[in-house]
Amino acid sequence: MTAPLFPVLRLKPKADARRIRHGHPWAWSDDLVLDRRARKLAPGALAILEDAERQPLGVGVATIEARIGLRLLDRDPAARIDADWLRARLAGALDLRARLYDAPYYRLVHAEGDGLPGLIVDRFGDTLVLQPNAIWLEDRLQDLVSILSDLTGAATLIKNGTARARAAEGLPDETQVLAGHAPDGPIPVPMTGATYAADVMGGQKTGLFYDQRPNHAFAASLARGARVLDVFSHVGGFALACLAQGAESAVAVDASDAALALAGQGAALSGVAERFSTRLGDAFDVMAALQAEGAQFDLVICDPPAFAPSKQALQQGLRAYERVARLAADLVAPGGTLILCSCSHAADLSKFRMACLRGIGRAGRDPRLIYTGFAGPDHPQHPSLTETGYLKALAFRLMP
């Protein structure tokens, strides 16, 4: 009998092997037989996963001290996880984006959505920003740099190692240039008719959120001649897209002065600066102040951070989404539109929608749902992982 290519991890008899056979890419540590040999596996080591009857389920990356004990990389237990394997996965991800977009500005790799657990890569022209959020990727960083440079022709590759997920794998918080040179300043990014300013060295996450692209486009389709309020605006995501499609004016609200400065640069790059303004401060406080001022807008968009990043935070997060909806609904002119977003995977679409409706109802408004949106196709969802389908956007027409 041929010895297995990698060490073996086995599921306990009571573990649900069908869940993994039917597509789920994770095995929980509590479901694994953690004998003396298993406990010797170093974090990030490759291992074959077997069910309780010793039938192989695939090969993956072991992290038995973490809640997720193994992440499957390949359903073929004989697969060789080497540079050629990485190249095939990365080439497949690039081919999808090349078919979707005319310009090289998109999320190039979306972790499990592209069969590369823990890896995020955003592309800004000839600059790539990598988030290697798992130890197995750190061990293969040079291969990733070499392959990505060869496939894309990118001159600059930057490692953004600031994600919270890295701490769970014992990885340091660090940002560094892996190839090429750091940009002199923000990178102009054309998207949805506007131009954004992405700070890839010091900005939030990789510097820009590509996931909202289709929802930006929907909001912009309603924006001609409209007064727009973009709350939790970051670098002007919705505001600039709406101005590019003829909005009368747009106000961007954010608690970060640096983010609003980048939004202002984007407005200048887009040629819409004279119709763009900002309000710096806590979003809840600013919305309350606008209400006190009697302000009204034809289109209000709220895209807050993840208020419910885990099941433990779900109820508190839903109350925060309800509060956002109530305050924002008061600012929508009769017959106008309110767009509410959530990037909390723990709050599924149904729970988020109910929280929004409670808030709108508390504001005394009469809503009609006209649009439900998600992340763009450069953020492919793994059907078994709600984490990869985190983004929801709901648009309500508030009746006159």
Task: Give me the active site residues, please.
Answer: 343
Give the other-Cβ count within 10 Å of 222's Cβ.
21
Q: Which two tokens stand for residue 132?
A: 């290697």
**In the chain, what are the helix, strand and coil shares in percent, each to the nearest 5?**
35, 30, 40
**Alpha-helical segments (H) within 101-247:** 135-138, 141-152, 165-168, 213-221, 237-244
How far apart (Å, rounded) are the C-alpha atoms in residues 116 and 114? 6
Residue 126 β-bridge partners: none
Residue 174 β-bridge partners: 161
153 burial type by CB count under 10 A (0-12 exposed, 13-18 middle, 19+ buried)? exposed
Residue 154 β-bridge partners: none
Give Cβ neighbours of residue 285 (< 8 Å, ≥ 6 apart): none
Determine contact, residues 199/209, Cβ cutoff 8 Å: no
Report CA 42 to chain centroid distance, whole Å: 29
- Can you say whether residue 2 is alpha, beta or left, with left for phi > 0 and alpha for psi between -120 and 50 degrees? beta
